Structure 1
């Protein structure tokens, strides 16, 4: 499995801000690091997020919910989830409007981590 690391998330964020506008800046390095590390955690030798899709959902959700960036948290979380799927050979081409709507639900606390995970599994499979 290929991971998305902290530096890559920063790069993705900066590229999205350059391309689509918004403010650069990081509010909380520790919150972002926790969000980026979360998908790869294990307990007693078992991954907490066993599949790539589980990890992608955790990564996207964590980045969005952490509000670690000044701007672009939804875009960055969504793009990082898509990137994690892609670099691990999983095709994911959501409808743009539906994807934006789902990311907004996550950001507004109207979709929890489990619901986002289920949605992503259904959208990929």
Structure 2
């Protein structure tokens, strides 16, 4: 599993992050889990949940239109969507969560 989905050190070349944005990283996690099928079952769900959690902890919320999310996961697993396609999908379906950021800030200060 780590060979296909982990290994974040492979994202750095000459000290520069090759996947520089949060949304690009989330798209990469989603795509890798759904594409490489590292588990016997639940790969598309795992990819989506990993991306969603990563976005959430970085104060980005995703519009949970379940049909669209399912179609993207199916597209990834059937080789019809690239990481770039997933990235553009996430750009359209995400927004910064100011409410969560403010709540988290006030809780910690």
- Give the TM-score of the pair, scaled to structure 2: 0.79
Cα 1:106–1:63 shift into 2, 3 Å: same
Query: What is the aligned counterpart of 2:60 among 62, 79, 90?
Result: 90
| 1:100-111 aligned within 5 A | 100-111=70-81
Q: Greater CA radius of gyration, 1 or 2? A: 2
**Residue segments in structure 1 that go unaligned for 5+ positions in a row:** 1-31
Q: What is the CA RMSD across the aligned residues, in angstroms?
A: 1.6
| 1:10-25 aligned within 5 A | none
Query: What is the aligned counterpart of 2:30 among 43, 56, 60?
Result: 60
Cα 1:60–1:66 shift into 2, 3 Å: same
Tell me the equivalent position of 2:2.
33
Moved over 3 A (4+): none
Tell me the equivalent position of 2:99.
none
Tell me the equivalent position of 1:10.
none
- Give the TM-score of the pair, scaled to structure 1: 0.69
**Residue segments in structure 2 that go unaligned for 5+ positions in a row:** 96-109
The answer as to 2:50 corresponding to 1:77 is no
